[in-house]
Amino acid sequence: MSDLPVIRLRPKSKPQAIRHGFPWVFADEVVADRRTRAIPRGSFAVLEDAERRPLALVTVNPDSKIIGRVMDADPQAVIDGQWLRTRLTRALAMRERLYDAPYYRLVHAEADGLPGLIIDRFGDAAVMQPNAAWADGMAAEIAEALVDVAGVSTVILNGQGRTRGLEGLDERMEVLRGTAPGAPLQVPMNGATYLADLMGGQKTGLFLDQRPNHAFVQRLAKDARVLDVFSHVGGFGLSALAAGASHATCVDGSAAALELAKGGAEAMGMTEQMTIIQSDAFKAMEQLAEEGAQFDVVVCDPPAFAPSKPTLEAGLRAYERVAKLAAPLVAPGGYLALCSCSHAVDLSAFRNVSARGIGRGGRRGQLIHSGQSGPDHPTLPQLAETGYLKALFFRLDG
């Protein structure tokens, strides 16, 4: 049927999960013989069950705990330029139906049938993160298909981050097509203007996943004093100003990110309405509390405190501490938004530690809304990791 190598599930492994759409095969689930371990990283193979019945076409990485990622349910599929164009076309069609302007996540890894591959689009430019070995090895082919399908002229490969290390991939930054922008790009979103540094910023240059949560904060923001903690490039602060907030204070440890936040305010003609505080976020909240500062809306959107199961307990303690420090900064009757982008923290656990932290901060309140990432970050139902973002909105009493 195929001249591809074969990896086979152990007799006690459950092939039903793969048949029902689960996209990963863990190393302890397969027969780890010499031939399997010798398959080059990023190669393709046929996955078989213990009875030697083909299940799917997978990409293999013997150096990773996730030894196999399902590329296609058809074991005879050929992963080439045409296959890539088909997947990209399907992903693009959904985004074009959802968004009027070409600023969105174009590919959300497994949820779009392109495992380990992230692509964010910023108008005529796209930034890809190949976080799986197959995507790193086929980066040039992906860029070519992306130009053909989406019509972008610039494709940047941002090969940085923890996930690549888990795959045994080196860090690298490369312009695959076109030329790198000479300055941060202006990105319109929810009526605000953001600046995205595609070559020097975090991830792909801008976090697009919070768009619907920015929009919810806008419903609370008119005439409000807003505190945006862990603000990065001013995600919530700028959206609040666009909706009529009287003032936004952005707190972050990164001077470069805060410069971009300031640049966004300048582009919106709202420099006077923004205050920048470069500081450790925990120390800044403690200092603001000592000063007796209070705000109508407080938003805390920290980095992933629990990126993996071994870090779960420490991460939950950190999220509780954020809530405890933030709660006293909310004026009576004001609103507190708490966010988590940790894969290992589920919604129930995050809700529990957030409520406990608010209580430890001397406050009580109502949970009025739970948010997640936008539809350009679709969730694969079989893979909880694709639905990583959680946002809780509380109204606090006096």
What's the pLDDT at 14?
Answer: 82
Instruction: Say if 121 falls within a structural domain.
Output: yes
What's the pLDDT at 2?
Answer: 64
| Cα–Cα distance, 175 to 126 (Å, whole number) | 10
**Arithmetic mean of pLDDT, 167-171:** 92
- Domain co-membership, 119 together with 171: yes
Q: Which of 253, 303, 247, 250 is nearest to 278 (CA)?
A: 253
**Arithmetic mean of pLDDT, 355-363:** 98
What domain range is 145 assigned to? 81-177
Domain harbouring 60, CATH code: 2.30.130.10
- Domain co-membership, 97 together with 52: no
Instruction: Say if 1 falls within a structural domain.
Output: no
Last residue of a domain, one of 151, 177, 203: 177
**Arithmetic mean of pLDDT, 258-282:** 98
- Domain co-membership, 228 together with 250: yes
Domain harbouring 291, CATH code: 3.40.50.150
Residue 371's pLDDT band, with cuts at 50, 70 and 90, is very high
First to last CA, the chain: 70
Question: CA-CA-CA-CA torsion for 310, 316, 317, 323, nearest 10 degrees?
Answer: 160
Q: Are 252 and 231 in contact (CB under 8 A)?
A: yes
- Domain co-membership, 212 together with 357: yes
**Arithmetic mean of pLDDT, 95-113:** 97
Last residue of a domain, one of 127, 149, 177: 177
What's the pLDDT at 203?
Answer: 79
- Domain co-membership, 15 together with 36: yes
Give the catalytic positions in this structure: 341
Instruction: Say if 16 falls within a structural domain.
Output: yes
- Domain co-membership, 224 together with 314: yes
**Arithmetic mean of pLDDT, 56-81:** 96
- Domain co-membership, 305 together with 380: yes
- Domain co-membership, 321 together with 195: yes
- Domain co-membership, 17 together with 104: no
What's the pLDDT at 201?
Answer: 74
Last residue of a domain, one of 125, 156, 177: 177
* Mean pLDDT score across all residues of the chain: 96
Q: Which of 293, 242, 228 is nearest to 270 (CA)?
A: 242
- Domain co-membership, 320 together with 383: yes
Domain harbouring 109, CATH code: 3.30.750.80
Retrieve residue 85's tokens. 């164009």
Residue 130's pLDDT band, with cuts at 50, 70 and 90, is very high
Using the predicted structure, report yes or no on whether residue 202 has a pLDDT greater than 80. Answer: no
Question: CA-CA-CA-CA torsion for 379, 354, 348, 337, nearest 10 degrees?
Answer: -30
Number of domains in the chain: 3
What's the pLDDT at 158?
Answer: 95
Instruction: Say if 215 falls within a structural domain.
Output: yes
- Domain co-membership, 205 together with 285: yes
DSSP string computed for 283-298: HHHHHHHHTT--EEEE
Residue count of the chain, please give it.
398
Using the predicted structure, report yes or no on whether residue 398 has a pLDDT greater than 90. Answer: no
Instruction: Say if 365 falls within a structural domain.
Output: yes
Q: Which whole-number Å values give the CA distances from 328 to 318, 331, 366, in the listed order? A: 17, 8, 15
Helix (H) or strand (E) holding 72: strand 66-72
Using the predicted structure, report yes or no on whether residue 227 has a pLDDT greater than 90. Answer: yes
User: Sheet holding 365-371: strands in order across?
Assistant: 274-278, 247-252, 225-229, 295-300, 330-340, 390-396, 365-371
Instruction: Say if 301 falls within a structural domain.
Output: yes
- Domain co-membership, 125 together with 144: yes
